[in-house]
Amino acid sequence: DGGITQSPKYLFRKEGQNVTLSCEQNLNHDAMYWYRQDPGQGLRLIYYSQIVNDFQKGDIAEGYSVSREKKESFPLTVTSAQKNPTAFYLCASSIRDGYTFGSGTRLTVV
């Protein structure tokens, strides 16, 4: 079955450490997105990519980085510059406005 896979499901990060969240899709979608969700809030866009080897900043890109070397993969790195990284991270892919979401990664700073 086609879908979008995020890993790991839970991730713990020490202060000052970079961590990378994985997102893989086999839907043949061109566009991929990373969203962050904090408790009681909606999803906020971190980065998005509409095509391989190209990506754009979303509304809250500071402290994050991405790459899009393959159509299927859009990993997100949470760097030490992100001062409040504890959140629920959601990856999505789409064709036009038809979105599919991954099951999310819950990142906690310890």
Contact 74, 57 (CB under 8 A): no
* 85 sits near other proteins (criterion: CB under 8 A): no
Which of 34, 48, 64, 74 is the binder for other proteins (CB under 8 A)?
48
Chain-centre distance for alpha carbon 43? 11
User: Which residues fall within 8 angstroms of residue 49, CB to CB, at 6 or more apart?
Assistant: 31, 32, 33, 55, 56, 66, 68, 74
* 102 sits near other proteins (criterion: CB under 8 A): yes
Which one of 16-24, 64-72, 73-81, 100-108 is the stretch in contact with other proteins (CB under 8 A)? 100-108
Which of 87, 90, 107, 109 is the binder for other proteins (CB under 8 A)?
90
Instruction: Please say which residue, 20 or 56, places its beta carbon nearer to other proteins.
Output: 56
* Spatial distance between the Cα atoms of 41 and 69, rounded to a whole number of angstroms: 31
* 43 sits near other proteins (criterion: CB under 8 A): yes
Residue 80 dihedral angles phi and psi, to the nearest 5°: -65, -15
- The residues binding other proteins (CB under 8 A) are 31, 33, 35, 40-45, 48, 50, 56, 58, 88, 90, 92, 94, 96-97, 99, 101-104, 106
